[in-house]
Structure 1
Amino acid sequence: MRAVRFDEYGGPEVLTAVDVDVPAPGPGQVAIDVAYAGVNFADIKARAEGYRVPALPFVPGLEVSGRIRALGTGVEGLAVGQEVAALTEGGAYAEVVVADAVTVFPLPAGLTLRTAATLPTVLPTAYALLHSVGRLQPGESVLVQGAAGGVGTVAGQLARAAGAGRVIGVVSGAAKAEYARKYGYDDVVLTDGFGSAVRELTGGRGVDLALDPVGGDALRESLGALAVFGRLVSFGNASSAPAWQVGQPELYPTALSVSGFSILTLARTAPGELRALAERAFAVPGIELPVTAEFALRDAAEAHRLIASRTSTGKLLLRVAQ
């Protein structure tokens, strides 16, 4: 079968189309004929820095849609030929991928394979950030970094659906601001000096909940934009800044809380909880994540270049088969 992998770390040019053996599912696993694979920032960090790469060579890709090809022993409730979406631990840039059955989800009626490929990572992540970890209450205000990205697009809609009083997005440019306003955001501010802008928008109060995938200085500025009893949820380190620390001096004066979330780690440590979370997330009606660019599998490097340019919005997909 065809797959795209990298044998060394580096720029998009290290991604190479190769012929590899078709993987077979082990106990509790499912093999899927891939229709579409989602492209995520985590894939870029894997290729460039070795993020969550157990060994080289490595086939990246964390989410797919497709049809079940084969079932491993002990798998129940799924069938060969069934259309599904799945979260994987890598390997999705390929014609066939293996995933743990607990992270394989039958498609709801009316959901196409193309749309389904946009959701396995971003929808459960955004839902967890707002609800399971962030504990959003009706009427509260929310600040979202990367509001025009995949998680940001979905988080804006979910916050609005949950009755948030005000939803503020942070983006890097005017074009992204225009895009984000279509997906649940009341206000969108630019990255530079966003903390002051948020304080001004909230009359000096700050926000109740901030979601941060950037880390580094952005995380510190988000922390400073919180209201009394505010909560911050960290779910990434796109800045590749050194590991952050926060303690009594920052938290005690206004009773702030800081939490963390990683859907990939949760898939390993508590897959049953992830499945329950995903089922709740998929049950929220009317959430969409537009596909803003689609590439052939062999052109995965071009998708990586587009994401790395920080000009992309919405979701990027690799078209494998239909």
Structure 2
Amino acid sequence: MELLIQPLNRMLHVSPGANLLDVLRENQVPISYSCMAGRCGTCRCRIVEGEVLESGQEELRPLSGQAQYVFACQTWLTESCVIEIPEPDEIIVHPARILKASVIAVESLAPDIRRLRLKPGKPLQYSPGQYANLQFAAGMVRPYSMAGTCEDDELEFHVRIVPGGRAGNHIAAGLRPGDAVRVSGPLGSAYLRCRHEGPMLCVAGGTGLAPVLSIVRGALAAGMRNPIHLYLGVRSSRDLYGMQWLAPLQRDHGNLHVQIVANDSKGISEARRGLVTEAIAEDWRDLTGWRAYLCGSPPMVEATSLLVRQRGIRLEHVHADAFYAAST
């Protein structure tokens, strides 16, 4: 049985029933991976031809027909096939770890947003844009994106407090400096692609600013000169935060351009009124050759993803994280 790997045009001889990620690692084929359990999405690749078995939460199911994406760690080979691995020159391997951390501070960024700062017992290696699972107590585990870079001495997270949200309200009212938090990660495939030299479109809604801020900080720290166009979407002045970091970055780096877009722009002198999709559509007719990093509510991420693909960004160059509010 044969496995053809694109774009490397490399042929491998494999045994039926072999796990795809195991085959790639054993043959030194470059692919990103992290959790090894199908949760983080880092090892996503595309089945171009052939049939495989993908392990879902319920059962193994055959995948056939037009090309589709699978997680290599949860995919088993059943016949000769062709796969496409994403960006072999942008591979990252940060094996997921469990670290102990202690609370440094919980700070208010907006009426319903808190900045959680943790001191990890050991450094956590991650790429800008990734996230981790934080456990505060038994049964209280939530995913939050890092807002800094792994060169920092601490971990920074932005947390939205929602009515009835157990973890958010615990962070806002229950956590104290010195309290222990278990950190599991890194996870996520919407990380910064450092080798890309074209324009970058970063779109953040709400606490989606955390991973976007991490991506921007990482790109600028790495000396990337790409034009970076960041659109920050908020509902009103009440929800706006982050300019205390973005304004100095924009002042010091001429390739960073920040646009605030608000449903209600009253009280935000520099804001444009409307939706981020409307602002992007007004500003850019052709986004061919760009990369997009989208983080925020599922409706915003889905609408923006559709728009940027219509304007020329390839699907595999849209790196997105949708934030789902946890009410329990």
Same fold by TM (over 0.5)?
no
Structure holding more strand per residue:
2
TM-score, normalising length: structure 1 = 0.36
User: Relative contact order: is structure 1 or structure 2 higher (C-alpha 8 Å, sep ≥ 6)?
Assistant: 1
When normalised by structure 2's length, the TM-score is 0.36
**Greater gyration radius:** 2
